[in-house]
Amino acid sequence: MQLKSIEIGPLSTPNNVFLAPLAGYTNCVFRQVCIKLGAGLTFTEMVSAKGLCYDSKNTRELLLLPPDYGAIKAVQIFGGEEEFVERVAACGELEPYDIIDINMGCPVPKIFKNGEGSALMADIPRAARIVRAAVRSGKPVTVKFRTGLTDLKPVTRDFARAMEDAGASLLTIHGRSRERIYSGPVAFDEIARAKAAVGIPVIANGGVFCAADADELMDKTGADGVAVARAALHDPFIFCELTGTPVPDKKALIAWQLKRTFELFDSRFALVFMRKMLAFYTKGMPDSAALRARLLSCPSRAELEDIFAGIEF
């Protein structure tokens, strides 16, 4: 794909290949791994605006940033009430972040029933008010959304225009409706209509697992860049493939991730998280099913490190 910088307000990204937010996975260490491999921009897991206003410990942990992060910092928040979004966008906890992204595409029933995430696509005026509330923070605001709630009633173009009019600096469009969740064909035509309707950058998301997928998504939508999601969990080295970044020593990089995760996070979280990540990274290897079983039942950091030492990447 053709690489280029993306302008987001006063900021310029190194390239147009982004890591999409992934609930439960895109903590600061994993984001740093993807940055080292070439990702031009990464986002936190989605953070509840209301949870942050009510001083939720778990919510605050999602915002952890090490001093050596060394890249543009983008936080993704979600919320259905503009007053909470405005408070959070200007709060001290978000001060280290350069960009505020608002999730308006999450299909999870609990989020949807609260009038958050993808529910906002059914109420464009309210979605626009939420964006305006965040823009008042003075930071660039971006929006991630889907094509609509159902395939039969797409709102992609109208929603994109409304978000631009409300002050959004960039849009990321997952080319599936809420009813599709994360499967089914990507609606290239819907992303293309939105791209043609706005003057701000549009990033296309959905179905990128290799360079050919990224090329197809760019060619068929006219988007300014792509966002990689689930593929990065199994193979974060996809960013090397898409950006031409030299592939580093895989084992050394994963060893760094393992060590850094235990340094920054609670030991129980770090153990569970890195067991899952190593299971992702070793998928498809010889005897991977048995290795996965060992990893996922591993009771301690020491045993996890012993298993990791024996893996050939």
Q: Return the CATH number at 235.
A: 3.20.20.70
206 and 261 share one domain: no
Per-residue pLDDT band for 58 (boundaries 50, 70, 90) equals confident
CA-based angle 50:146:140, to the nearest 5?
A: 55
256 and 234 share one domain: no
- Joined tokens for residue 258: 């393992």
pLDDT reading at 1 higher than 90: no
pLDDT value of residue 275: 97
Q: Cβ–Cβ contacts within 10 Å for residue 218, how many? A: 18
75 and 214 share one domain: yes
pLDDT reading at 284 higher than 90: no
130 and 266 share one domain: no
pLDDT reading at 249 higher than 90: yes
Q: Cβ–Cβ contacts within 10 Å for residue 36, how many? A: 18
Q: Cβ–Cβ contacts within 10 Å for residue 189, how many? A: 14
pLDDT reading at 59 higher than 80: no
Among 219, 243, 267, which residue terminates a domain? 243
Among 243, 262, 287, which residue terminates a domain? 243
206 and 226 share one domain: yes
pLDDT over 90, % of the chain: 90
146 and 269 share one domain: no
225 and 169 share one domain: yes
72 and 14 share one domain: yes
Q: What is the pLDDT of residues 163-183, one digit of tens each?
A: 999 999 999 999 999 988 777
Domain of residue 271 covers 250-309
pLDDT reading at 39 higher than 90: yes
Among 243, 269, 297, which residue terminates a domain? 243
Three-class DSSP category at 216: helix
In a domain, 73, yes or no: yes
In a domain, 1, yes or no: no
300 and 160 share one domain: no
Task: Write phi, then psi, for 184 (nearest 5 degrees).
Answer: 90, 170
Tally the domains of the chain.
Answer: 2
- Joined tokens for residue 312: 């050939």
pLDDT value of residue 53: 87
Distance, in Å, from the CA atom of 215 to the CA atom of 195, rounded to the nearest integer, reads 16
Per-residue pLDDT band for 114 (boundaries 50, 70, 90) equals very high
Tell the residue number behind the tokens 């299971």, with chain if given.
Answer: 279
162 and 182 share one domain: yes
Distance, in Å, from the CA atom of 73 to the CA atom of 144, rounded to the nearest integer, reads 16
**Amino acid, res. 52:** L
In a domain, 234, yes or no: yes
pLDDT reading at 128 higher than 90: yes
pLDDT reading at 286 higher than 90: no
Distance, in Å, from the CA atom of 168 to the CA atom of 140, rounded to the nearest integer, reads 7
223 and 268 share one domain: no
Distance, in Å, from the CA atom of 187 to the CA atom of 191, rounded to the nearest integer, reads 7
106 counts as catalytic: yes
Per-residue pLDDT band for 60 (boundaries 50, 70, 90) equals confident
From the candidates 106, 210, 240, 298, give the one annotated as an active-site residue. 106
Mean pLDDT computed over every residue of the chain: 95
Say if residues 25 and 247 touch (Cβ distance below 8 Å): no
In a domain, 2, yes or no: no
Per-residue pLDDT band for 313 (boundaries 50, 70, 90) equals confident
34 and 183 share one domain: yes
pLDDT value of residue 229: 95
Flag the least confident range among 143-147, 182-186, 250-254, 267-271. Answer: 182-186
Say if residues 5 and 16 touch (Cβ distance below 8 Å): yes
